[in-house]
Each structure stands twice: as C-alpha cells, then as structure tokens.
Amino acid sequence: MKRLENFKAGFIRENPIFGLYLGLCSALAISTSLNNAIGMGLAVTAVLICSNIIISLIRKITPDEIRIPVYIVVIAALVKIVQMFVQAYAQDLYTALGIFLPLIVVNCIILGRAEAFASKNGVFDSALDGLGMGLGYTSGLLALSVIRQILSTGMLSFSNPFNPNFVIFETTFFSSEYTISLFSEPIGAFFTFACLAAALTAFKNSENKKPWKIGAGIVALVLVGFIALRSDFMIDNTPAPAPVEEETPAPAAETGILSNENGVYTVAVNGGFNTSGVNTFEITVVDNAISSVTVVSIEDTEGIGDTIDNEEYLGQFAGINSSDFEVDVQSGATLSSGSCEEAVRLVLEDLGL
C-alpha cells in the first residue's frame, strides 16, 4: 500500500508541475501542442526512471561529500543518450523541443528525486518513484497543451513522432475565427498554468471536494468567457445583402500546371483542410532539377496552412530531380505540406523525371 501511495503521489498530491512547481520553464515553453507534451513527458520519464535506478544502485558506495556531482554526471549522461535518440529517430520532435531537451539535465524534478528518494531507497522503489513522477509530469504537460492547443488553433491533433506524415488523430472543435492567439504565447501559458494550479490546490485542500468542483466550474466559465469574448469581437454588424433570386454556381478553381514560362512553373493543387480552395506555387526548374519553390497563395486555414511558407521547409526541394522523393513535413501543417509536395511532383512528372 505504501508503494502504491508513493506511486500515486506524483499525479495529485506531489504533482511536479502543479503541486511542487518544478520543471516549469520547459513545461510552459513547449506545451503548445500535444506532440511536444508527449515527447517531452516521455523523455523526462525515461531519464527519471533510469537515473533513479542507477543512483539507488550506487548510493552505498557514493561518498556524501561528492554525491551531488555524481548524480549530475549520471543524469547528464542519460539526457545525452535520450537527446541523441530523439535527434536520430524523431527529427521534427527534436527541432520542436529545441534547447529544452538537453536542459532536462538541470530539471529540478530529476535531481530532486535522486536526492530525496533514490539515494535512500532500493532499486524497485526508486524505479517506481521515477515512473510515478514522470507520469505526473507528463499528465501536467498534457493538461496544459490540450487547453492551449484547442484555444489557440481550434483543433487538437497528434502525429507519429517517428513518422510525421502519419497523423494519428486530428479533431476540429471550432472555427479558426474564434481562436485565441494569446494561448499560443507565454502569457497564455502562465494563465493556463495558474488556473490549473488553483484548481488542483482547491481539490487537495478541500475535505468534501465541493470547493474543487466550484473551482473547476469557475475555470471552465473563464475559458468559455474568453471564447465568447473573442466571438463578440468577430461579429460583423454590416447589414446582410439583399437575397439574390438566382445564383450561378462559381466555377471550380483550376488545378494542375497553370503555366510554364522558361522553366518557371505555376502550379495549383487542392488545399489541405479547405479542400474547396487551392494552394498555388511557383516552381523554378534548372537543368531538369528543382531550383526553388515559392508560395504564391495558400487557401488553407489561416495560421496553420500558411506556416509552410518558410525557408527551412521550402529549401528541402532544391536539387530534387525525381518525382519519387521524401521530405520532412512542416510541423502542424501536414496536409498543406502534402499540397506543396504534390505540386513539385506534377512538375517533375511533366519533365518526365
């Protein structure tokens, strides 16, 4: 029973993020999407379990005078292994987590559990403690990221970190017109953290749990209020035009290769989320190979589809001379990335490559 209580402590009573307020820098910085939260949570959990096991094994032969430096060396080695693994097999996740992945070394949760628990307990108990605290940290990240991603983008999605082209699920909750961009910024992270920390504190301090229900209700009302306030700003008070008796359907947008002028192709392909629209690209060919790709127009969801218009993503196509190619997708804009790749393939196939 004691082991079970210690394991469960990381979820509520001693939750690293909302109970102990540890590891907040990385939690607030990377909790903009579900992919980031799960990736960082698993990395921290792996380091926690392994470091607790190793420190428990060497606790009796480690002099007290140098125990902290020894712990740091063990943790740093494990973090480097995890960092190299993520860089090798999940490049998009490695880029998204950035500097916060190697900074797991100085995460207070890991060193704190090594000093407070692993250095005083056996291997099994230490591993269980690391698992509990790691899952508690991951659950905290998930709570932050789910709220922030839904409110800032209107949708929730998760893709395979080892294969970004494979979207596991993607759900739209409301139109992008009602999104609150504040929640994708640092102030939104602090606001979300404050609400969740207050709700958890109310839950822990209440005997009959009724105050917690009231606190959770208040948090929900505040979030709904933000959405309602945002929607009020989006109301268009312009009088509606007089109805037209007969409307002629608009012609379907032309897709495919629109023109080719001296090796400069203009190509239009169906969009990602907005399949009724088209995305248009200008593709330059030199010596039967792609020289450059330029975005002319994007009709996908604003703030999502247009993220493919950046040098790092478009630069991958330079030098491609076969329609059988693979490039990394733009994180968070998988379908829009596909429309760009389709445009490049149309040009290469037109060249017979």
* Confidence at residue 294, expressed as pLDDT on a 0 to 100 scale: 87
* Confidence at residue 260, expressed as pLDDT on a 0 to 100 scale: 82
* Confidence at residue 246, expressed as pLDDT on a 0 to 100 scale: 56
* Confidence at residue 235, expressed as pLDDT on a 0 to 100 scale: 42
Across the beta sheet with 289-297, the strand order is: 256-261, 264-270, 278-286, 289-297
Coil, helix or strand for 18? coil
Measured CA to CA, the distance from residue 226 to residue 212 in angstroms comes to 21
The pTM for the full model equals 0.58
Of 198, 180, 183, the residue nearest 33 (C-alpha): 183
Burial class (CB in 10 A: 0-12, 13-18, 19+), 247: exposed
Of 27, 92, 94, 151, the residue nearest 307 (C-alpha): 92
Q: How far is CA 278 from the centre of its chain?
A: 26
- Interaxial angle between packed helices 123-153 and 210-233, expressed in degrees from 0 to 180 and rounded to the nearest 10: 30
Measured CA to CA, the distance from residue 177 to residue 180 in angstroms comes to 9
Residue 46 has a CB neighbour count (10 Å cut-off) of 18
**Dihedral of the CA atoms 37, 26, 143, 162 (nearest 10)?**
0
Q: Cβ distance 37 to 142 under 8 Å?
A: yes
Tens place of pLDDT for every residue, the chain, 353 residues? Answer: 577 877 887 787 788 888 888 888 888 888 888 999 999 999 999 999 999 999 999 999 999 899 999 999 999 999 999 999 999 998 888 888 888 888 888 888 898 889 989 999 999 999 999 999 999 999 999 999 999 999 999 899 888 888 878 888 888 988 888 888 889 888 889 989 998 888 888 877 775 555 555 555 655 655 555 555 544 444 444 555 655 555 555 455 677 888 888 888 888 887 765 555 788 888 888 888 888 888 888 877 777 777 787 888 888 888 888 878 878 877 777 777 788 888 888 888 888 87
* Confidence at residue 79, expressed as pLDDT on a 0 to 100 scale: 94
Element (H, E) at 230: helix 210-233
Residue 251 has a CB neighbour count (10 Å cut-off) of 6
Quick one: tokens of 102?
Answer: 């190697």
* Confidence at residue 96, expressed as pLDDT on a 0 to 100 scale: 86
* Confidence at residue 46, expressed as pLDDT on a 0 to 100 scale: 94
* Confidence at residue 227, expressed as pLDDT on a 0 to 100 scale: 52
Q: Which domains does the chain have, with CATH numbers?
A: 2-164 (no CATH), 256-350 (3.90.1010)
* Confidence at residue 210, expressed as pLDDT on a 0 to 100 scale: 56
